Amino acid sequence: MEDTTKVFSEITAIENKYGLIMFRMGLTHLVDVGFRNLTDEDVEAAIKKIIADAETDKANGVIQVMTPEFQCDLVRCAAELAKFSVWDIFAYIQENVVIGTAKQGAGTCPECGHDDLEYGSGSVEDNSYIYKWACEECGTFGRECYDLVFSEQIVDGDKN
């Protein structure tokens, strides 16, 4: 197996090239289609078909959810990822790809997993206390919410 740092660096370059959403979709497409079916010839054939289908759809007034350019980038991304071994891909996913809210939690950026958010002001809204936060790592910002629930009453004195 190649040096993991080098492999991860190359996979990160693909993620940076296509962006997080396209990269994740490319990973899904790669697993869906399979490593063995993404030869250079298959990729070019798929791209030609995507473009031809888009022209037909346009002529028939069909509106596509994904643009042909987006679909072509998806196939290209998956093809570049297919050049790595499946085990390198899985190791990369385990270390670097947040799935769902696996890395989400108080103080952790839900986009990149960075665990040192900068907090701003907070306020009570409905039954929650909400802090504003920003991630200096990826630039994402948002609000962190805590539910306010009754826990106990404490008597500090009485009128006697």
How confident is the model over 88-119, as pLDDT tens digits?
A: 888 888 888 766 554 567 788 888 888 889 99
- Taking each helix axis from N to C end, the angle separating 20-33 and 68-81, rounded to the nearest 10 degrees, works out to 70
Dist CA 142 CA 160 (whole Å): 48
Average pLDDT value for the chain? 85
Of the pLDDT bands very low, low, confident and very high (cuts 50, 70, 90), residue 1 is very low
- CA dihedral (101, 70, 75, 52) positive or negative: positive
The 10s digit of each residue's pLDDT in 53-83 is 999 999 999 988 889 999 999 999 988 998 8
> Tokens standing for 61?
């007034």
pTM of the predicted structure, to 2 decimals:
0.47
> Between residues 87 and 67, which one has the greater pLDDT?
67
> Between residues 38 and 62, which one has the greater pLDDT?
62
Query: Which residue, among 13, 29, 7, has the nearest Cα to 94 in the 3D structure?
Result: 7
Looking at the predicted structure, is the pLDDT value of residue 143 above 50?
yes
Residues 6+ apart with CB under 8 A from 35: 82, 86
